[in-house]
Amino acid sequence: MTEEDKFYDDAKKYWEHVSPTVDGMLGGYSHISSTDIAGSNKFLRPFIRGPNAKTGTRRALDCGSGIGRITKRLLLPLFQTVDMVELNEEFLKQARPFLGEHASRVERYICSSLHSFTPETGRYDVIWCQWVLGHLTDVDLTRFFKRCRAALAENGVIIVKENAASSSTREFDENDSSFTRPKQLLVDIIQVAGLTIMKEEKQIGFPKNIYDVWMFALR
């Protein structure tokens, strides 16, 4: 097994032992969920609502969706349909009861890692990537961004919401096999992938003992 294979395999094994609950998805920080969703809604809304909105609301993609916390509380209230892509098959199974009556508006439950996932060309108005990109190597993240760019509908946007390390280099978490990148490194990867940052904003209202969280709208 190569070092890269181990990196991905260790992450897969970690999530196999996480409970399929909101608290499990958020690593014990379920109390921040409402603040998180409110901040995301505020950040996204100008793209899809109001006089200057150009992005459609037909279909969104939730990357690393888990059981569908973001799908249920953010995307389904704003979009006609949502696709979910998630590595852990058990999370996707639990997504249906978690989403309840809204589950029928999820068109595709896709069981796949992001480093091997290619979204359909031109399919999505919004591609949402939150607290999952640290599970990709820098090279695979660049490639993933390029595939996402091709998957956008006209005037579509990719939304990235990720932790940012305060150090100048990546921080590796052996527990879940993930990287926390400094903000500038994430920006560099975005630019190498040929994407433009349309908007960026720091999430407010989170506990001071966790990483800063930044949101980016990309096209």
Annotated binding site: 64, 69, 130
Parallel, antiparallel, or unpaired: how do β-strands 124-130 and 106-111 relate? Answer: unpaired
Name every residue whose Cβ is closer than 8 Å to that of residue 165 and which is 6 or more positions away in sequence: 171, 180, 181, 182, 183, 211
Which secondary structure element, helix H or strand E, spans residue 74, and what is its range?
none
What CA–CA distance (Å, rounded) separates 108 from 65? 12
Partnered with residue 127 across adjacent β-strands are 61, 158
Binding residues for S-adenosyl-L-methionine are 64, 69, 130
For the chain, what is the largest distance between any 2 Cα atoms, rounded to a whole number of angstroms? Answer: 53
Contact 82, 104 (CB under 8 A): no
Q: In terms of residues, how long is the chain?
A: 219
